């Protein structure tokens, strides 16, 4: 039997995608010897149903623009083609069917998202299906080890912590900068910057 394929999954709203997402995905790919990382923009982010989110088509195009120069990055529209809230458990189950059992899945999150995973739909079932990599800064809360322990044996096996040079960048901050007319150069790839201005996104 051949070596198992190792697939990273970077889920997010990507409204818009920024260098924090890209650097984190690349750092995890490197450290965990992943064959590739698939970026999956959520059509309907379950935790953002009370707020307005940019049309999925724009978020998908920006994700493609941002990742196309990296041969180890791919983008999937799997969540865009599914109605209702975009639950990760449904996505991973679908990917297992697609890739077969010979693939190991590593779901990549930032420190803020890993802190919230106990609220995710069918999280225990999800932990059985994939690893979680919580990217966090040295000495920075939340403590991924603590979150790991809260899931007992399953957490010990499936939740991992990786120290990355996390950048203080968020999509929220980028949207606010655009509203105020500030520059977003070097915070997003220039192709994404150009797309945002061309489509007039985040102006109001």
**Which positions touch ligand ATP (CB under 6 A)?**
12-15, 20-21, 24, 109-110, 112-113, 135, 166-167, 169-172
Largest CA distance in the chain: 56
Side-by-side strand order, sheet with 103-110? 73-75, 36-41, 5-12, 103-110, 131-136, 159-163
Give CA–CA dist 117/132, Å, rounded: 10
Which of 52/81 has CB closer to ligand ATP?
Answer: 52
Count the alpha carbons within 13 Å of 8 in the hemisphere toward its beta carbon.
Answer: 25
Which of 62/95 has CB closer to ligand ATP?
Answer: 62
Which of 4/141 has CB closer to ligand ATP?
Answer: 141
Tell me the closest approach of the beta carbon of residue 111 to ligand ATP, in angstroms: 7
Which of 4/186 has CB closer to ligand ATP?
Answer: 186
Tell me the closest approach of the beta carbon of residue 148 to ligand ATP, in angstroms: 16
SS3 7: strand
Query: Which backbone phi and psi does 11 adopt, to 5 degrees?
Result: -95, 150
Which of 96/113 has CB closer to ligand ATP?
Answer: 113
Tell me the closest approach of the beta carbon of residue 163 to ligand ATP, in angstroms: 12
Query: Which backbone phi and psi does 159 adopt, to 5 degrees?
Result: -105, 130
Count the alpha carbons within 13 Å of 113 in the hemisphere toward its beta carbon.
Answer: 22
Tell me the closest approach of the beta carbon of residue 6 to ligand ATP, in angstroms: 19
């Amino acid at each position: 039997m051949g070596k198992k394929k190792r697939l990273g999954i970077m889920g997010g709203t990507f409204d818009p995608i920024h260098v924090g997402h890209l650097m984190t995905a690349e750092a995890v790919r490197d450290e965990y010897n992943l064959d590739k990382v698939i970026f999956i923009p959520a059509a309907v982010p379950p935790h953002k149903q009370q707020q307005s989110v940019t049309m999925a088509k724009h978020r998908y195009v920006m994700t493609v623009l941002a990742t196309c120069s990296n041969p180890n990055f791919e983008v999937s529209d799997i969540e865009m083609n599914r109605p209702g809230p975009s639950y990760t458990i449904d996505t991973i189950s679908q990917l297992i069917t697609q890739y077969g059992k010979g693939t190991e899945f590593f779901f990549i999150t930032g420190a803020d998202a890993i802190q919230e995973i106990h609220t995710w739909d069918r999280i225990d079932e999800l932990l059985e299906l994939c690893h979680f990599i919580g990217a966090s800064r040295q000495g920075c809360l939340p403590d991924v080890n603590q979150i790991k322990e809260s899931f007992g044996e399953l957490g010990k096996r499936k939740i991992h912590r990786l120290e990355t040079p996390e950048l203080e960048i968020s999509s929220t901050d980028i949207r606010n900068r655009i509203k105020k007319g500030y520059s977003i150069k070097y915070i997003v790839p220039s192709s994404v910057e150009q797309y945002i201005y061309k489509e007039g996104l985040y102006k109001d």
